[in-house]
Amino acid sequence: MNDYRAEYRRKLITADEAAGLVKSGMSIDYGAICGFPWLIDEKLTQRAPELEKVIIRAENSRTHIPEVDPNQEHFIYNSWFFSKMERDYGDQGCCSPIPFNLGEGPRMYREWLKDDVDIVFVEVTPMNEYGYFNFGVAITRQKAMCDVAKTVVVEVNESQPWVPGGYDEAVHISQVDYIVENDKYPIAEFPPVPPTQADEQIARYIAELVEDGATLQLGIGAMPNIVGQLLIESGVKDLGIHTEMINESIMHLIETGVVTGRRKSLNPGKAVHCFAGGTRQLYRFMDHNPLLAGFPVDYTNNPYIIAQNVKQVAINSALKIDLRGQVCSEAAGQRQISGTGGQMEFTRGAYMAPGGKAFICLRATHRDKGGKLVSNIVPGLEAGDVVTVPATEVSHVVTEFGVVNLKSRSLWQRARLLISIAHPDFRDGLEAAAYQAKLITRGTRDC
């Protein structure tokens, strides 16, 4: 057996030296989510005055770019998915979103970006005895990035758990050019967001429709987390997991025995995912856990693979929906809030699955900046609103006032169904707007 420790020592450099590899005009790619290389990024930020027009593609940024580069003279920052910090970047004109479906990531690198990645910096586990670094809780598109980059730099982090995978969950030292050890910053934590009463009611409607043997995808946010708790209480049995993200809710479902994966039609017994976001407790749970199978995102999010799971259930959150059924989940007018993620892919894949169900969930209202109550079910989307899921793909829609299925319904039926789950204070106004827009026609006004 090869002893890779000598090779490791030869390739070991400091974070300052890694940041020093970057030259003006280069294209730099960071690992996704918990693959974000905090220490190298910190050192690169300190070099801002020395650099011009370095293009960075990343997400889940932790660097206050507007403070060091308010005019984008040094860094052109592009985000695959806006976090809270990146929303602030966007508000200050220092960050551009990259529109894409999450599952496209590996292909984008291997085809469209294959000649445009000068350096990739990615957070990994310590190397094992066979010379491999595991991507931990952020498999997504990391291997594809490493495959095409001119220079591969891994930032080793003891807090990154080793997660068993299907494929592309690790990179070998022979493919790595430089190694940095990060003993300063642990990988990011994403504590669960407390649910509102509306979230809890939405979750109750969904939990009632999840059958024994179903396979779950839970999206990001408070409501998907409370769904997991209600499923534990409901008595449902033998659930499976095929999802993008492993979160606290899924961990609890596995620990309580509600998720067994026994009845999964694809990858039975395995909780399939491509990344995780949660607390240290979740990351400890995932470390070397044989119940988990981490895959790259072009596997987990491929609608035709998702559709092979009998009774696949997809649960995703939206910002607003119009009376045609067009779903906006990522922007408020011209302001980017998050990203498309895998919502479109799982909505389609779950609907295609035998006995599958795809849920789009949203609170019926929100308060605007002035404190005014505003409906999230609207007559039509506004300029700048991104259609995350087109009307043709939408089936189940859930608010705290009920659940409806839009499939096979004409526009006037869709409008009426959506109005029925809007906040009561807005129903008359929505109906009047629907009639004026001829969504509800003369003959259907009293139907």
List residues with catalytic annotation: 244
Orientation angle between helical segments 411-420 and 424-436, nearest 10 degrees: 160
Which has the closest alpha carbon to 113: 144, 153, 76, 68? 144
Question: What amino acid is encoded at 229 in this protein?
Answer: Q
Which has the closest alpha carbon to 316: 282, 293, 340? 340
Report helix, strand or coil for 405.
Answer: strand
Distance CA 4, CA 237 (A): 46
Distance CA 91, CA 79 (A): 13
CA 97 to mean position of chain CA atoms: 14
Distance CA 237, CA 427 (A): 38
Report helix, strand or coil for 190.
Answer: coil
Distance CA 286, CA 288 (A): 6
> Torsions phi, psi of 77, nearest 5?
-90, 130
The two structure tokens encoding residue 168: 């592309």
Which has the closest alpha carbon to 350: 307, 297, 408, 293? 307
Distance CA 95, CA 59 (A): 10
The two structure tokens encoding residue 191: 């504590």
Q: How many CA atoms lie within 13 A of 397 on its CB side?
A: 36
> Torsions phi, psi of 215, nearest 5?
-110, 130
Report helix, strand or coil for 273.
Answer: strand
Report helix, strand or coil for 29.
Answer: strand
Report helix, strand or coil for 227.
Answer: helix
Distance CA 4, CA 125 (A): 15
Contact (Cβ atoms closer than 8 angstroms) between residue 400 and residue 328: no
Overall residue count recorded for the chain in this entry = 447
Distance CA 18, CA 416 (A): 58
Distance CA 386, CA 333 (A): 8
